[in-house]
A and B are shown apart, each in its own frame.
Chain A
Amino acid sequence: MALDLSMPVLVVDDYKTMIRIIRNLLKQLGFEDIDDAADGTEALEKMKQRRYGLVISDWNMEPMTGYELLKQVRADSGLSKTPFIMVTAESKTENVIAAKKAGVNNYIVKPFNAQTLKGKIEAVFSD
């Protein structure tokens, strides 16, 4: 899978400032088409209406968490191949293992820097 900077990216976070930070970092990396959602439910609705090339999601949100979103995406035949990166403050080993088992492509621990985000996006698309 090649990295295409024109692909739409969906950023999912219930904290507006974090969406703004990730948006700005993605813009710096060259992405132009960036959409956002405030939780898993909104993200899933958007994903059913539009095909996103990448989802970057927080874990701890209400009502639907990023973990539940990931599992629903992987269970949906139309969405299951969407690259999914978790960006979260949940940094216990069991979280990383659970996300990996659920099919996450990569995992970023907050706080993170631009280089980490760039590296993980590149890693997902180099697989």
Chain B
Amino acid sequence: MTQITKDNVANIVAFLEENKNKGGDVSLTDVMHLAEMMSGSMHEFLSKVQPAITEELTAIAREISSMKQEIAQLQAKDMTSNRIPDAGRELDAIVEATEDATNTIMEAAEEIMSADPTNFAAYHELVNGKMIAIFEACTFQDITGQRISKVVSTLNYIDQRVSDFVARLRIPDGFEAPVEETAEERRKRELILHGPQMTGEGVSQNDVDAMFPDSQSEIDKLFD
């Protein structure tokens, strides 16, 4: 028994030696590996002392092993190295494409607005040319639609992986740790920054107008 313990301790020491230069950069996988080794090292010793503890430790070791597999299945590296940056690039491309299209459309509209309509033939030709430019610019919608689908697919992928992981951890409802408000969140709360609302969620212009009577007669109506 003593010999087995020594071997196991030697394994743990070797593991710690191997990882001692990591400084603070210790991953969850490292911790779980260490826990697995430690619970394994005590297995034989405790099996002779108390079988119930052995069963418990075996279950813990099995759980740790299963957790390691779950973490591996999360494919966090793939998410952070590939999928999330790719989604970011798609969104940047969408912003760029919509901005380019808007500029093209606005330039066309501005040129039509400032054109001299007295020379009808020239005006007609200019308007036709600019209308074609507007139609062409609108093709951005098809491409951005495809890009958005790719981003949505990435979000669904992450959602699925994280949801599966959380489900397997069997975290009870309401177990979430309190999250401290970040500086950005505080700014948003204090300056009432909600951003655009979905259709039907925010107030309409008519609702706003009711709060800003346009004339004295409308103000008077509020007191009738």
Residues of A within 8 A of B (CB): 17, 20-21, 24, 28, 59-60, 65, 67-68, 89-98, 100, 106-110, 112, 116, 119, 123, 126
- Among B61-69, B101-109, B170-178, the stretch in contact with A: B101-109
Which of B109, B194, B207 is close to A24, meaning CB atoms less than 8 Å apart? B109
With A20-B106, A93-B203: A123-B192 Cβ-Cβ less than 8 Å: no
B205–A108 contact, CB under 8 A?
yes
Determine whether the beta carbon of A107 is less than 8 Å from that of B208.
Answer: yes
Chain A, residue nearest B214 (CB): A123
Total number of A-B contacts with CB less than 8 angstroms? 71
A109 touches B205 (CB 8 A): yes
Chain A residues within 8 Å of B103, by CB: 17
Using CB atoms and an 8 Å cutoff, list the residues of chain B in contact with chain A. Answer: 99, 102-103, 106, 109-110, 113, 191-197, 202-205, 207-208, 211-212, 214-215
Taking a contact as CB atoms under 8 Å apart, the answer to whether A92 and B203 are in contact is yes
Contact indicator B192/A96 (Cβ below 8 Å): no
Known: A24-B113, A96-B211. A91 touches B106 (CB 8 A): no
Q: CA of A15 to CA of B110 in the docked complex: distance in angstroms?
A: 18
**Chain A residues whose CB sits within 8 angstroms of the CB of B195 once the complex forms:** 60, 89-90
CB distance from A15 to the nearest CB of B (A): 10
Closest residue of B by beta carbon distance from A107: B208
Other than the known A108-B208, A126-B214, what 8 A-B pairs have Cβ atoms closer than 8 Å?
Answer: A17-B99, A20-B106, A21-B106, A89-B196, A90-B195, A106-B212, A107-B212, A126-B215
Chain A residues with CB under 8 A of B193 = 59-60, 65, 90
Interfacial chain B residues near A17, Cβ < 8 Å: 99, 102-103, 106
Chain B contacts for A24, CB-based, 8 A: 106, 109-110, 113
* A residues less than 8 Å from B102 (CB atoms): 17
13 contacts between A and B (CB under 8 A): A24-B110, A24-B113, A60-B195, A65-B191, A65-B193, A89-B196, A96-B211, A109-B202, A109-B203, A109-B204, A110-B196, A123-B214, A126-B214
